Structure 1
Amino acid sequence: MITLYGIKNCDTVKKARKWLEQHNINYRFHDFREDGLQQSQVEDWISKLDWETVLNKRSTSFRQLSDEQKNNLNADTVAGLLTENPTLIKRPLVENGTALFVGFNDKQWQSIFAE
């Protein structure tokens, strides 16, 4: 089963959900804010993708972090920060069985979800 993680009012997440629905791909949507996150889950994502891939440094939430928080980010500290502030996670994040990827790109998704 495909799980799409994100925030329901995020434009990119909306595009991704619409794309999945248009292609008749069943998925489960997990809203970071409403459904929450477990740190162990975030740690698993980081172990598979690298923390710098999971962290959205372009987000408003990232810009609002203190300089100290930004300067002290590393593989050991980022999971706790992402769990506490899930809007720092790049969206959408998709689990498809054992595969894990972030972001939405129509061409990339066509190859990932080739029928």
Structure 2
Amino acid sequence: MTRTLYGLKNCDTCKKALKELEAEGKRADFVDIRAEADLPSKLPRWIAAVGEKLVNRSSTTWRGLSDADKARASGVTLEGLLLGNPTLIKRPVIETGDEVLVGWSAETKSRIG
């Protein structure tokens, strides 16, 4: 099974996820969301799959946004907000075939094939 993990190279959670997947013999290709990901084509699919769960509301980037920008984190302008601020994307985003998983939680770990 092909798995792609989208994240940031310096993200501790992404590093942990890759390490744990490797330890379990599950290969995952890493794609940096700032430098390598084709966000204009990925975001519509991710948003359709997980919605606002894609927004990392505990990030430094989120805390630095204006109230107006925070209001954009719901509805039709979510994609534009994430395109302009890729570090707002909750990490990691993992694609496993047709499924999109966000974050490195017990639920995510149980759903990775």
Do the structures match in fold with TM over 0.5? yes
- Preserved contact between residue 37 and residue 83 of structure 1 (Cα < 8 Å): no
Identity, in percent, stands at 42
Question: How large is the Cα RMSD of the aligned pairs?
Answer: 1.6
Distance (Å, rounded) in 2 between the aligned partners of 1:57 and 1:107: 19
- Counterpart of 1:7? 8
Name the CA shift for 1:86/1:72 in 2 (closer, same or farther; >3 Å). Answer: closer
State the one-letter code of the partner of 1:87: T
Match of 2:36 in 1: 35
TM-score (norm: length of structure 2)? 0.89
Q: Distance in 2 between matches of 1:86 and 1:103?
A: 15
- Counterparts of 1:107 and 1:81 in 2: how far apart (Å)? 27
The CA deviation at 1:68 is: 1.5
Please state if 1:57 is matched with 2:57. Answer: yes
Matched positions, count:
112
What is the TM-score normalised by the length of structure 1?
0.88
* Partners of 2:107 and 2:50 in 1: CA distance: 20
Counterpart code for 2:64? Q
Structure 1 residue 108, shift from structure 2 partner: 4.5
Where does structure 1 differ by over 4 angstroms across 4 or more consecutive aligned residues?
none
SS at match of 2:30: strand
Provide the rounded CA distance (Å) in 1 between the counterparts of 2:80 and 2:100. Answer: 20
SS state at 1:76 partner = helix
1:36-74, Cα deviation, whole Å (9 max, x unpaired)? 433231011101111x11011111001111122112332
